[in-house]
Structure 1
Amino acid sequence: VITGRNRGLGLATTRELVAQGAETIVICRSSTPELDEAGVTGIVEGVDVTDAEALAAAADEIMAKGGAIDILINNAGYFYGPEEKVLDDSLNFDEQLKQIDICAVAPLRVSSAFVNKGLFKEGGRIVIISSQAGSAAWRLVQNPEGGDYGHHMSRAACNIAGVLLAQELRSKGIAVGLLHPGFNKTGMTKKYEHIWEVEGAVDASVGAKRVLHETKAISMETTGLFINCEDGLEIPF
């Protein structure tokens, strides 16, 4: 099951899952012609990842139609366009909270619904698509001027939620992986289009292959780790 994205990296990951022979169910607010043509096993529409009741109903629907699942990919995300700065008084606190709700709380909300509905097979895995933007250690060397507060805070919160979830679900044998998908050319990163080539951004189809490669490596031995899909190495928190 993959959440949230009927375009960009989510759509590319969905297509790659289907290409690799996986029975794939997509949870989203609304489908698109591209998603309809992707060949997925099922699409559960009308589900917002900020709505706990809708997620519980979606879990029931998935269980009724196909039974337990192997992998949940929490891919839904949100990125506020303008770069927020304190010094120019451009902070948008409502947008910051929206990003935190969608990028940090939602993966926990979805995972909780699925776990409590008994939706995972033995040895199931939870993938959380995060971002290196949530690494406080890397911000000290990569963001000399600060900014983009909502984006970075939401991803840092996402990461600690993933670690705590990994610890809690260890007794259930459910592994949790936090993945930075790399720099992909998508609508979400379009505000950085001017540095796509300089920073090595790749097409979403390439990013999807990287994500699934690292998804396969998630195990109880690696549960809770924050992995860079560009090179397979661990990212410091």
Structure 2
Amino acid sequence: MTDDDNSPENRDRARDPVNQGLFDLRDRVGLARFGLMNNQVWHQDPKRLVFTLARYKFVAKMLKGKASVLEVGCGDAFCSRLVQQEVGRLTVSDFDPLFLEDAEARMTPPWVCGTLVHDVLAGPLPGRFDAVYALDVMEHIPPEREADFLSHVMAPLGAQGVLIVGMPSLESQAYASPESKAGHVNCKTGEALRAALLDRFHNVFMFSMNDEVVHTGFFPMAHYLFGLAVGPKAPSGTAE
């Protein structure tokens, strides 16, 4: 390195001009940071972040082109940007305002989305959406409140609405940590998740997942499950 290379005006210039945009973006909008939940993941078990990103990518591809989408139980909403990239408008919701405050603090244009503080067990979600998704939420819902949970997340959907539910399989719990098991009070088999959704939707499509790979394989060997439900049924006693 010559003296000229180390001058103040050159100190922050990339040697390869192709890379200069990296520094320009840093100076213009700053460096992105992890959300509260995924910060812990990155410190404790980085590979888990890959699995979570893959789940959100699956949702993003399934909902591509939808005009308005709602996420239920977004946590820190760090991975929600993958869905936002593919849909017209994304709103993220959680019952803990601290997570949404963290998410809002990290938003920079053009990645700004709506936020909603809402306890899904307290009542139906407000508004109208083409699709709703909830990842790693339903396994935390007590079985006796499952009907309320599903009714409330379906409430914003129209006749052609889509709901995606993702959760660890019941079979995976043999390998879960004690901390995870304590919170996972409603994990299901693939057939049980299908049945719960078919009771409320005209069509249900099931997928299995192991690590970051989504497939249509044998449910009992899946670590994670997706149920993609389409076309809500009318509540009992009402005309469709």
With structure 2 as the length reference, what TM-score do the two structures score?
0.46
| Structure label with greater radius of gyration | 2
Q: Which has the higher contact order (CA 8 A, sep 6+)?
A: 1
With structure 1 as the length reference, what TM-score do the two structures score?
0.47
Richer in helix (by share): 1
